[in-house]
Structures are given as structure tokens and as C-alpha cells.
């Protein structure tokens, strides 16, 4: 019970540390009910990925944020105690935005930003998080899944409900 209370307190502090520079006081908002303007309109799939990330054993682990966008998931992993986070994106504008966001946070120094796709990376990670649309995820799914370390965790968000069956089917068939 004490360990769970400590984890919840650490999670609350991580939320506050991430959002404070953006003018959001998370003593009044939780991630599931944050205003849409947070992180330049934090999308619902990003909020779901954040909530899932909070449930993972992040502390002391290495994480990969594939398709980092604004960098919010990479920052969250760092704030939750990741030893380090590799954040990658193929969109140069997203990399610029993520770099600016990383500078706003002291734990941003534990995030390594890469202007490339996950398929260009080597190594494996205890946690891989991807908030991608099916058309972004499906072509690189093999590369992403191969980055998950043995007994690691993979968080996928961004798949619309009407495409979930298709994505799951493609994952099962490996085609």
C-alpha cells in the first residue's frame, strides 16, 4: 500500500513537472480531463498513451518514443524516472517542436532526440511507446516490435476504433 501511494505521488509530481511550463496546474486537471490546448492540442490518443505509460515500470528503464511529435511522451517517460529516452520522428517540424519542449524541462536532458524513423535505430528498449495512425504504424510495425526488449512493454495508441480489427489482424498475420 505504501509503495502504491509513493508511485501515485511520483506520478502526480511528474504530471505537474511536465505541464507547469505550459501553464497547466495539474492539481486541478488529471491527464484524462486536460484541456485540449495543452501541448498544442494534446490529442485523446496521446492522453491514453500517457495513462498507459504511467502503469508501466518506467523507473530506471530505457524507453523509445517512436513518432515523438511534440515530445510529450518522451518527457513523460523521463519524468517518470526512465534512465534515458530515445525520441524519434521523421517530420523535421515535429523534431524542432520536440527540441523546444525538451529545453523547457530539466529532465529533458535525459531525452535523446533523433531525426529519423525507428527503423533507423538499433538496440532494444524496456518500453516502446508509439502514438501513430495505422498508415504510419503498419509499415514500420516489425521495426518497432523488434525494438522491444525481452519482457519489455509496447504501448500503441492512435488506432481509431474502426481500424482496430484490421491492425490486430495484420499484427497476428505478420503481413
Answer whether 0.85 is exceeded by the pTM. Answer: no
107 Cβ neighbours under 8 A, 6+ residues apart: 17, 75, 78, 79
The grid coordinates listed for 107 are 529532465
Lowest mean pLDDT among 9-13, 70-74, 115-119: 9-13
Query: DSSP secondary structure string, the chain?
Result: -HHHHHHHHHHHHHHHHHHGGGT--TTT--GGG--TTHHHH--HHHHHHHHHHHTS--TT-EEEEET-TTSHHHHHHHHTT-SEEEEE-S-HHHHHHHHHHHHTSGGGGGEEEESS-GGG--S-EEEEEEE--HHHHGGGHHHHHTTEEEEEEEEEE---HHHHHHHHHHHHHT-
- Summarize pLDDT for 60-98 with one digit per residue, the tens: 999 999 999 888 899 889 988 899 999 999 998 888 888
**The pLDDT value given to residue 31:** 36
Mean pLDDT computed over 132-160: 89
Amino acid at each position: 500500500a505504501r509503495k502504491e501511494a509513493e508511485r501515485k505521488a511520483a506520478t502526480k509530481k511528474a504530471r505537474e513537472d511536465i505541464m507547469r511550463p505550459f501553464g497547466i496546474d495539474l492539481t486541478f486537471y488529471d491527464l484524462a480531463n486536460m484541456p485540449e490546448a495543452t501541448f498544442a492540442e494534446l490529442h485523446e490518443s496521446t492522453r491514453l498513451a500517457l495513462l498507459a505509460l504511467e502503469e508501466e515500470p518506467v523507473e530506471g528503464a530505457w524507453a523509445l518514443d517512436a513518432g515523438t511529435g511534440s515530445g510529450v511522451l518522451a518527457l513523460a517517460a523521463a519524468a517518470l524516472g526512465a534512465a534515458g529516452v530515445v525520441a524519434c520522428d521523421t517530420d523535421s517540424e515535429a523534431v524542432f517542436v520536440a527540441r523546444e519542449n525538451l529545453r523547457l524541462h530539466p529532465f529533458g536532458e535525459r531525452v535523446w532526440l533523433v531525426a529519423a524513423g525507428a527503423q533507423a535505430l538499433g538496440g532494444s528498449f524496456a518500453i516502446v511507446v508509439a502514438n501513430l495512425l495505422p498508415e504510419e504504424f503498419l509499415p514500420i510495425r516489425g521495426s518497432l516490435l523488434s525494438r522491444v526488449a525481452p519482457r519489455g512493454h509496447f504501448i500503441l495508441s492512435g488506432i481509431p476504433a474502426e481500424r482496430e480489427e484490421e491492425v490486430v489482424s495484420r499484427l497476428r498475420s505478420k503481413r
